[in-house]
């Protein structure tokens, strides 16, 4: 299926093959099987559910609900209310903005240049995030590692792990509280954003 400049409601199902769309708008609902998905220049409301295959987006504005089981998800220049639910999938995000919720049970998730609000949850998932000033980042994972880099400014931070090691720059320092390793620094009015990370056994790195 190939759609170009389609500006109306779409409801489609595809068991196997390709779904490519360029410059689409409207309310779209897609239920896909083993499918190669490529979309660029979309604005509107998109519901996308699929089983397996690569998913590539470039230049999205609006609301996205993405549910995918297996494959590589590559999202570029995405802005809006983004909800992503992944099973065993690797995720790459470049220039994400807005209010995001990501659930990734397993896999490797890398978000570069994120700006906005992010809530990320995982089981055995690794997270690597670089965030812009004023962002609000929350990451919760049971076994995975979390690496966060703040591009500008200094956020208020709360980092907590039951068994994982926490690496932070000076003068920040981890302390033991009731069996948890914790780093807490509230910068008050001087803070440029907030960062909250909790892991079970996975290490945490912040810089």
Higher local confidence (pLDDT), 135 or 190: 135
Confidence of residue 171 (pLDDT cuts 50, 70, 90): confident
- pTM value is 0.93
Task: Average the pLDDT over 31-38 and give the result.
Answer: 96
The closest alpha carbon to 144, from 64, 70, 82, 90, belongs to 90
Helix locations, the chain, DSSP H? none
CA-only gyration radius of the chain, Å: 18
Confidence of residue 188 (pLDDT cuts 50, 70, 90): low
- CB atoms closer than 10 angstroms to residue 190: 9
Compute the Cα dihedral for 91, 57, 112, 63 and give only its sign. Answer: negative
- What share of the chain has pLDDT > 70, as a percent? 99
């Amino acid at each position: 299926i190939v759609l170009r400049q389609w500006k109306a409601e779409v409801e489609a199902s595809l068991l196997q093959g390709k779904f490519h769309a360029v410059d689409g708008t409207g309310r779209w609902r897609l239920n896909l099987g083993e499918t190669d998905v490529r979309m660029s220049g979309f604005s509107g409301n998109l519901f996308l559910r699929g089983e397996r295959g690569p998913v590539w987006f470039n230049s999205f504005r609006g609301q996205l609900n993405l549910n995918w089981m297996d494959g590589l998800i590559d999202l570029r220049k995405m802005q809006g209310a983004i909800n992503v639910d992944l099973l065993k999938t690797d995720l790459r995000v470049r220039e994400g903005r807005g209010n995001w919720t990501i659930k990734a049970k397993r896999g490797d998730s890398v978000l570069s240049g994120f700006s906005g609000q992010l809530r990320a949850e995982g089981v055995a998932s690794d997270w690597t995030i670089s965030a812009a000033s004023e962002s609000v980042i929350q990451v919760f994972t049971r076994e995975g590692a979390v690496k966060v880099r703040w591009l500008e400014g200094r956020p208020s931070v709360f980092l907590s792990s039951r068994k994982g090691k926490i690496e932070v720059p000076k003068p920040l320092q981890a302390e033991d509280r009731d069996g948890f390793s914790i780093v807490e620094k509230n910068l008050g009015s001087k803070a440029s954003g907030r960062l909250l990370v909790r892991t079970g056994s996975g290490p945490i790195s912040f810089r």
